[in-house]
A and B are shown apart, each in its own frame.
Chain A
Amino acid sequence: MKTRILGFVALAAVMVVTAVALFVVPPDGNQGDAQRIMYPHVASAWLAYLSFGVTALAGIGWLWKRDLRLDAVAHAGAEIGVMFTAFAIWGGMMWGRPIWGVFWQWEDPRLTTTALLLALYVGYLLLRRLTDDPERRATRAAIVGIVAAIDIPIVHFSVEWWRGLHQTATIASPDRVLDPAAPMAFVGTLLGTLAAFTLTWLYLMIRRYQLARAEVAREEAVRLDRLMSARTAEVAR
């Protein structure tokens, strides 16, 4: 019941910030209406990193405590993280087209890092699907999730360098809006979007966690069932 209330609150919050971001906040002086994409875009990117952090921590927790509930948390984090990563990339491309003139900008370190992030965690989810035994799956997933999380800063750093050693980017980055000089309306809308999206994230995490637990319980039931019928057949013979 509490989760359901959280869901409704999150939905209402997202509706409010959507309306504010679309109709209340004035368009950006340079970028026009395209700048409005920044609000959900930044929120999605933040939640993607949060999710993958949760996955890595839950993975460490599993290796330490051997509690399958932690593995369910890791699973939920990875799946929701992939969703928000894809959403962040999509939003970035939609913004890039009118502002940069292209969908894809190789010189932007964040964009290329995020694309690799998506590949890393899609691999993680596929690996989970290919392993049947719950404890094996948890262990494999945990260490792959930990190494992926270790890789993220190295990737980011190297891509930043890759660009930086050549020329400095002249492109306006969406994050400049967070500048102290930025008008309060922009900052307030961004913070509101962050809060609303994080509430939604929390709701999704709880639901996905419950689902993951149910999936494991069902797997277990099927396995026991199979064992029992095999035993019964043996006894009958």
Chain B
Amino acid sequence: MSTLRREARIALAVARKDALAELRGRHATVSTLFFAAVVLLLFGFALGPDAARLADAGPGLLWLAVVFAGILAVNRLHLLETDDGALEQLALYPVARRAIYAGKALGGFAVMLLLGLVVLGAVGVLFAVDIGDAWLPLLATVVLGAAGVAAVGTFYAGVTVRLRAREVMLPLLMLPVLAPLLLGAVKATSAALTGDPFGELGAWLQLLVAFDVIMIVAGAATYGYLLEDG
């Protein structure tokens, strides 16, 4: 079996473990989704009740809600490992570190993708944004955005999981790094929603792809150091 396939199987096993733990009643996804819904509701109050203004702000609010809720999601996925020294066990497995990172990030990606789709739907309903015609570019944006948040989030959750001040440090470290992703995703979303009059959609999607690739490579390359002695 080739190295790539072996590592992919390891990554899938790690992701499957997280999914199982989640399905057996950790309810991280449910609380994350509810948090995103509350954030959207509060945005409505903060900017409300002018419908046109809310629709204009829709793409920005969508991605802020996804990023904020994403902090919770990736934190929960790593917190899972601190119980009963599971992280140390994970570090003891004689497998490539990048495969473990890929597995954790894959689990995060699944949660983020679900989150992104639900929040997109909620923005469509709550802020009267019509997403019907532009579903394909919007789906691409959500997939790329979810992958980026998961890649960066998994890395920083690994950095902060053993800290006392984890709840503060994770967003503090993660949010500035996510700034280009937020920018690209918001721009791509609003371009898709307005029918891309300036032909800029492709460029923003490319930015998201580049961000994702760079961050996944950086995370995979450094995650091992975190597991060993971070």
B176 pairs with A165, CB closer than 8 A: no
Tell whether A140 pairs with B226 under 8 Å between CB atoms, given A161-B203, A161-B207. yes
Is B50 close to A, CB under 8 A?
no
Q: What residues of B have a CB within 8 angstroms of the CB of A150 in the complex?
A: 214, 218
A139 pairs with B230, CB closer than 8 A: yes
Q: What residues of A have a CB within 8 angstroms of the CB of B163 in the complex?
A: 127, 130-131
Is B155 close to A, CB under 8 A?
yes
Q: A interface, by DSSP: helix, strand, loop or mixed?
A: helix
A158 pairs with B183, CB closer than 8 A: yes
Is A136 close to B, CB under 8 A?
yes
A144 pairs with B183, CB closer than 8 A: no
B180 pairs with A154, CB closer than 8 A: yes
Q: What residues of B have a CB within 8 angstroms of the CB of A139 in the complex?
A: 225-226, 228-230
Q: What residues of B have a CB within 8 angstroms of the CB of A165 in the complex?
A: 187, 198, 200, 203
Is A94 close to B, CB under 8 A?
no
Q: What residues of A have a CB within 8 angstroms of the CB of B218 in the complex?
A: 146-147, 150
B176 pairs with A119, CB closer than 8 A: yes
Is B21 close to A, CB under 8 A?
no
User: Which of B173, B180, B210, B230 lies in contact with A123, CB distance below 8 A?
Assistant: B173
B173 pairs with A127, CB closer than 8 A: yes
Is A148 close to B, CB under 8 A?
yes
Is A202 close to B, CB under 8 A?
no
Q: What residues of A have a CB within 8 angstroms of the CB of B229 in the complex?
A: 135-136, 139
Is B109 close to A, CB under 8 A?
no
Q: What residues of A have a CB within 8 angstroms of the CB of B177 in the complex?
A: 120, 147-148, 151
Q: What residues of A have a CB within 8 angstroms of the CB of B169 in the complex?
A: 123, 126-127, 130
Q: What residues of B have a CB within 8 angstroms of the CB of A127 in the complex?
A: 159-160, 163, 169, 173
Tell whether A143 pairs with B176 under 8 Å between CB atoms, given A154-B210, A159-B183, A165-B198. no
Is A155 close to B, CB under 8 A?
yes
Q: What residues of A have a CB within 8 angstroms of the CB of B58 in the complex?
A: none
A140 pairs with B173, CB closer than 8 A: no
Tell whether A143 pairs with B200 under 8 Å between CB atoms, given A119-B176, A123-B176. no
Tell whether A162 pairs with B222 under 8 Å between CB atoms, given A151-B180, A154-B180. no
Within the complex, what minimum Cβ distance (angstroms) separates A154 from chain B? 5
Q: Which residue of B lies closest to A129 (CB)?
A: B165
Is B211 close to A, CB under 8 A?
yes
Q: How does the 8 Å CB contact mask read for B164-180 relative to A, with 1 for contact and 0 for none? A: 11000100110111011
Q: What residues of A have a CB within 8 angstroms of the CB of B198 in the complex?
A: 165
Within the complex, what minimum Cβ distance (angstroms) separates A166 from chain B? 9
B184 pairs with A144, CB closer than 8 A: no
Q: What residues of B have a CB within 8 angstroms of the CB of A151 in the complex?
A: 176-177, 180
Q: What residues of B have a CB within 8 angstroms of the CB of A162 in the complex?
A: 183, 187
Q: How does the 8 Å CB contact mask read for A151-172 relative to B, with 1 for contact and 0 for none? A: 1001101110110010000000
User: Which of A116, A144, A146, A161 lies in contact with B173, CB distance below 8 A?
Assistant: A144
Q: How does the 8 Å CB contact mask read for A107-142 relative to B, with 1 for contact and 0 for none? A: 000000000100110111011001100011001101
A116–B164 Cα distance when bound, in Å, is 25
Q: What residues of B have a CB within 8 angstroms of the CB of A130 in the complex?
A: 163-165, 169
Q: Which residue of A lies closest to B226 (CB)?
A: A143
A126 pairs with B172, CB closer than 8 A: yes
Q: How does the 8 Å CB contact mask read for B211-230 relative to A, with 1 for contact and 0 for none? A: 10011001000100110111
Within the complex, what minimum Cβ distance (angstroms) separates A55 from chain B? 15
- A-B contact sample (15 more), CB < 8 A, given A147-B215, A154-B211, A158-B180: A63-B225, A116-B176, A123-B169, A123-B172, A126-B169, A130-B163, A139-B229, A140-B226, A143-B226, A147-B218, A150-B214, A158-B207, A161-B207, A165-B200, A165-B203
Q: List 5 A–B pairs whose Cβ atoms lie within 8 Å, in order of A's numbering.
A: A127-B159, A139-B225, A143-B226, A143-B230, A150-B214
